[in-house]
Structure 1
Amino acid sequence: MENSRAAWKPLEITPEEAETTADADGLAAYLSTLDDLEGLLAEKKALVLRGFGVAEAELDPVMDHLLPNRLAYVHGNSPRTKVGNNVYTSTEYPAEYVISMHNELSYAHAWPTRLLFTCVVAPASGGATPVVDGTLWLASLDDEVREAFADGVRYTQNLHGGRGLGKSWQDTFETEGREDVEAFLQETEASWTWLRDGGLRVSQDRPSTTRHPLTGDEVWFNQADQWHPAGLGDETAAALAKVLPADELPQNVTFADGSPIPTQYVTQIRDRGLEFAVDVDWHQGDLLLIDNVLVGHGRRSYAGDRRILVAMCN
Structure 2
Amino acid sequence: MTYNRAQRFIYPFGNGDLALDMDAYTLDCSQYASQHALEIAIHDQWHEKGLVVLVNTGMQHLSELERWSAIIYQDFNAYEGGAAPRSKWSDAVYSIDDTPPHIDMGYHNEGCYLSVSPRCLVLGSMDCPKTGGWTLASDNEVTTDELLKTDIGQKLQKHGVRYVRNMTDKHGDNTIVHKHWQDTFLTESREDVERYVLAEGWDHQWMPDGILRTSYWADAFEYNEKLGKNLFFANLANHGLFFDQWHPFNTLLDEERPHTMLVGDGTPFTEEDIATIYAINNKASLGLRWQDADVALIDNERWSHARPAYAIQPGEARVMGVTTGMLKKRVGSRF
Which TM-score band (shorter chain)?
0.7 to 0.9
Deviation of the 1:130 alpha carbon: 1.0
Q: In the aligned structure 2, how far is the partner of 1:197 from the partner of 1:44?
A: 47
Structure 2 CA distance for aligned equivalents of residues 139 and 288 of structure 1 = 25
The letter of the residue matching 1:91 is: D
Equivalent residues of 1:10, 1:47 under 8 A apart: no
Which of these residues, 175, 179, 186, is aligned with residue 198 of structure 2? 186
Match of 2:127 in 1: 121
Which of 272, 278, 281 aligns to 2:280? It is 272
Give the match for residue 51 of structure 2: 46
2:105 and 2:229 mapped to 1: Cα distance? 25
Structure 1 residues 156-201: Cα deviation after superposition (integer angstroms, max 9, x where no partner): 1111112334211112122212222223223322121222321111
- Aligned-pair CA distance for 1:302: 4.2
Residue 238 of structure 1, CA deviation? 12
Once the two structures are TM-superposed, the CA of residue 203 in structure 1 deviates from its matched residue by: 0.9
The normalised TM-score by structure 2 is 0.79
Which residue matches 1:13? 27
Equivalent residue runs for 1:134-173 within 5 Å = 134-141=140-147, 142-150=149-157, 151-162=159-170, 163=174, 164-173=176-185
Residue 95 (structure 2) pairs with residue 89 (structure 1): yes
Do the aligned partners of 1:152 and 1:206 also contact (CA within 8 Å) in 2?
Answer: yes
- 1:253 pairs with one of 261, 271, 274: 261
AA in 2 matched with 1:207: D
In structure 2, do the counterparts of structure 1 residues 95 and 112 end up closer, same or farther at CA, with 3 Å as the change threshold?
Answer: same
Paired with 1:7 and 1:310, the residues of 2 have a C-alpha distance of 22
Check if 1:286 corresponds to 2:294: yes
- In structure 2, the CA distance between the partners of 1:216 and 1:237, relative to structure 1 (3 Å rule), is farther
Alpha-carbon RMSD: 2.8
Match of 1:75 in 2: 81
Cα 1:204/1:14, change in 2 over 3 Å:
same
1:212 matched residue in structure 2: 224
- Per-residue displacement from partner, 1:121-179 (whole Å, max 9, x unpaired)? 23232111111111212233352121121210111111111233421111212221222
Q: Contact 1:100–1:274 (CA<8 Å) still a contact in 2? A: no
Supply the distance in 2 between the matched residues of 1:298 and 1:123 (Cα, whole angstroms).
Answer: 17
CA contact (8 A) 2:65 2:322 kept: no
1:133: which partner in 2?
139
Asked whether the 8 Å contact 1:120–1:285 carries over to 2, the reply is no
Show the counterpart of 1:23.
none
Cα separation, 2, equivalents of 1:210 and 1:155: 16
* Alpha-carbon distance change, 176 to 42 in structure 1, aligned in 2, over 3 angstroms: same
Q: 1:310 aligns with which of 310, 318, 322?
A: 322
2:212 matched to 1:200?
yes
2-structure distance, mates of 1:306, 1:43? 30
Q: Does the 8 Å contact 1:109/1:189 carry over to 2?
A: no
Distance 1:283 1:19 in 2: 24
Query: Where in structure 1 do 4 or more consecutive aligned residues deviate above 4 Å?
Result: 4-10, 31-34, 235-239
Counterpart code for 1:99: M
Aligned pair count? Answer: 298
Instruction: Please give the alpha-carbon distance, in whole angstroms, between the structure 2 residues aligned to 1:145 and 1:8.
Output: 30
Q: State percent identity of aligned pairs.
A: 24
Shift of 1:232: 4.4
* Separation (CA, whole Å) in 2 of partners of 1:236 and 1:61: 35
- 8 Å contact kept, 1:10–1:45: no
Deviation digits for residues 46-68 of structure 1 (CA, Å, limit 9, x no counterpart): 00111122121544433332331
Residues 59 and 229 of structure 1: is their aligned pair in 2 closer, same or farther, counting only changes over 3 Å? Answer: closer
Deviations 1:279-302 (A, max 9, x none): 010137711000001101112324
Contact 1:124/1:302, CA 8 A, preserved across alignment = no
C-alpha change, 1:239 and 1:231, in structure 2 (3 Å) is closer
Q: What residue identity is the alignment partner of 1:251?
A: H
**In the alignment, is the contact (CA less than 8 A) between 1:9 and 1:278 conserved in 2?**
no
Cα deviation 1:202-230 (Å, max 9, x = unaligned): 1110111112132223221112x323334
Contact 1:120–1:284 (Cα < 8 Å) also in 2:
no
In the alignment, is the contact (CA less than 8 A) between 1:70 and 1:86 conserved in 2? Answer: yes
Identify the structure with the greater helix proportion.
Answer: 1
CA distance in 2 between partners of 1:249 and 1:45 (Å): 34
